[in-house]
Amino acid sequence: MKQYGAEFLGTFWLVLGGCGSAVLAAAFPNVGIGLHGVSLAFGLTVLTMAFAIGHISGCHLNPAVSIGLCVGGRFPANKLLPYIVAQVLGGIAAGAVLYIIASGAAGFDVSKGFASNGYGAHSPGGYSMLAALVCEVVMTMFFLIVIMGATDKRAPAGFAPIAIGLALTLIHLISIPVTNTSVNPARSTGVAVFVGGWAIEQLWLFWLAPIVGAALGALTYRFVAEEA
């Protein structure tokens, strides 16, 4: 239960910190942090939580990561469902706190997106469903490669949180214009449930693509890194 609690808290922090930066600070008058700031915020949530709870739960914070690590032989299948439930609940709880904070400002309109992921008309750059699908698969694939490589017993000890946090920052720098960047079904779900409508209708892609990408990343890493 401590592991599941750690995953709940860690995913809560990821969604509150990452999506919170997008909703509250990205375009704040005169001092908005913009795309670069939001990208860094997501990376910092993972980096900080990896140091805080990595020794408790492994700091997955992401159903796709848990599934990918299972495919990669790094995580037991019997813990998958509880981890995923804890992550999704943590994401939704963070979405609720963010909604309460954001709605305290005059003119707040959750239908404008609330940092939800989308494609087509709901992509920040108007990218198609196919573009969004490919982007999310490839980004999550390389995220898993970095995670598995950085946590490999042959890798330098103690540096994994830095590599993983910076990888997530880079992923956001690349893909925010395409999908608002998911690579994490719990992150997508945590805010989509408050937007409803189109965000829920498009949510399937932000479960399917990250899971497929994570599995591909895990299999790829096992292929290239398998010891003779």
Q: Reply yes or no on whether the pLDDT at 227 is more than 70.
A: no
CATH number of the CATH domain containing 41: 1.20.1080.10
Residues in CB range of 30: below 8 A, 6 or more apart:
none
Q: What average pLDDT does the chain have?
A: 94
Q: Give the Cα separation of 4 and 1 in Å (integer).
A: 5
Q: Could you give the dihedral angle defined by the CA atoms of residues 217, 221, 223 and 228, in that order, rounded to the nearest 10 degrees?
A: -170
pTM: 0.93
DSSP-assigned letters across all residues of 84-105: HHHHHHHHHHHHHHHHHHHTTS
Number of domains in the chain: 1
Q: Hey, how many other C-beta atoms are within 10 angstroms of the C-beta on 159?
A: 11
CB 87 within 8 A of CB 8: yes
| pLDDT attached to residue 113 | 84
Q: Reply yes or no on whether the pLDDT at 228 is more than 60.
A: no
161-218 pLDDT, tens digit per residue, is: 999 999 999 999 999 999 999 999 999 999 999 999 999 999 999 999 999 999 999 9
Domain that holds residue 118: 2-225
Judged by average pLDDT, the poorest of 79-83, 96-100, 151-155 is 151-155
Apex 6 CA angle, 70 and 19, nearest 5: 90
- From residue 181, alpha-carbon distances to 83, 109, 151, 158, 205 in Å are 22, 21, 23, 27, 12
DSSP-derived secondary structure letter, 180 = S
DSSP-derived secondary structure letter, 21 = I
Mean per-residue pLDDT for 81-108? 95
Q: Give the Cα separation of 203 and 82 in Å (integer).
A: 21
Mean per-residue pLDDT for 73-78? 94
